[in-house]
A = this chain, B = another copy of it.
């Protein structure tokens, strides 16, 4: 197995799923998505079992879906309910249906054993729903790279000093070591940078008197969700000790859809405690972060190409890799446990 299956993957922005048929891919499964007349989202295998026409090329008939080639019609459970010109419907005329749910502006899908699908386990950030915080829905950024290479990047506060020098990082952080800790299936990586200039993005807010104390907590929930809690407060106001009453803070949320072993989509959104409900700030932040994430995309896509050309070459391990390595082991263990091999799981643990 290449992917953990008994887990919820983010799949699409909720606002993109309507009464039209929409094709999406996750862990090499092609899925057609649409809303029933009551608004509920349906996810079916996007393939008519007759001649392998994608069902997304067909049309909705009420809550059912009709194939565009010969009219085979499937209900929301994937059961074929009509074969034009033929009275009998064979029991194998079915398409697979997937459990889905919506949260934080996203449709989530379960591609594993449906009996294990527990919607209460879908990730949630309370501040997303809190009126004192403002939400900016970003982009569905297509990255031609393996999702675990993107995940490396999201367990790694140190890269911002070099990749995002005009937005999220600056020289002050270059030599500050990172820490990490495993919490269940999550890996948290963090560092504090004390009494130093604010990062360019925050400096432009004109909120600080001078140097700041800033934190970067990367919460990576395997296999594919990352919440980056970062913020700053004037040095000396007690942020490191726990007082964040005067801070600027943002949760940068990355919900990754692994399409296949070389393609991923990063659905990103931002939850902030400053300039709430300010559409000019939304627009500016969107632009700044879009530029920053394009910098990651360029590097990750170059790495993907280099790796494919030398599949056997081992990377050099650095101190900053401890957390990404732990994250990868956690994903491997999830996969091994699903495969039912205790030895494999023990080895991965």
Q: Does A51 lie within 8 Å of B85, measured CB to CB? A: no
Is the beta-carbon distance between B85 and A319 smaller than 8 angstroms? yes
Minimal Cβ-Cβ distance residue in B for A67: B162
Is B306 touching A70 in the complex (CB atoms < 8 A)?
Answer: no
> When the two chains form their complex, are residues B315 and A86 in contact, meaning their CB atoms are under 8 A apart?
no
* A53 and B299 form a contact (CB under 8 A): yes
Complex CA–CA separation, A52 to B304 (angstroms): 9
Is A344 an interface residue, CB under 8 A from the partner?
no
A238-279 to B contact mask, C-beta < 8 Å, 1/0? 000000000000000000000000000000000000000000
Which of the residues B50, B158, B159, B316 comes within 8 Å of A49, measured between beta carbons?
B316
Whether, in the assembled complex, A2 has its beta carbon less than 8 Å from a beta carbon of chain B, the answer is no
Chain A 65-85 per-residue mask, 1 if CB under 8 angstroms from chain B, else 0: 011111100000000000111
Chain B residues contacting A149 (CB-CB under 8 Å) are 51
A161 interface residue, CB < 8 Å from B?
yes
Which residues of chain B come closer than 8 Å to A69, judged between CB atoms?
159, 162-163, 299
A22-58 Cβ-contact flags toward B at 8 Å (1 or 0): 0000000000000000000000000101111110010
B158 touching A70 by the CB < 8 A rule?
A: yes
Min distance, Cβ A78 to any Cβ of chain B, angstroms: 13
When C-beta atoms are compared, the residue in chain B nearest to A46 turns out to be B306
Q: Is the CB of A306 within 8 A of B52?
A: yes
Considering the complex of A and B, which 8 residue pairs feature the smallest CB-CB distances, nearest first?
Answer: A52-B306, A49-B316, A86-B319, A71-B162, A84-B174, A50-B316, A85-B177, A52-B303
Residues of chain A touching chain B, judged by Cβ–Cβ distance below 8 Å, are: 47, 49-54, 57, 66-71, 83-86, 90, 92-93, 149, 152, 158-159, 161-163, 174-178, 298-299, 302-303, 306-307, 310, 313, 315-316, 318-320
The 20 listed contacts between A and B (C-beta, < 8 Å) are A51-B149, A51-B303, A52-B310, A52-B313, A52-B315, A53-B299, A53-B302, A57-B299, A57-B302, A66-B162, A67-B162, A69-B299, A70-B162, A84-B158, A84-B174, A85-B158, A85-B175, A85-B177, A85-B320, A90-B316
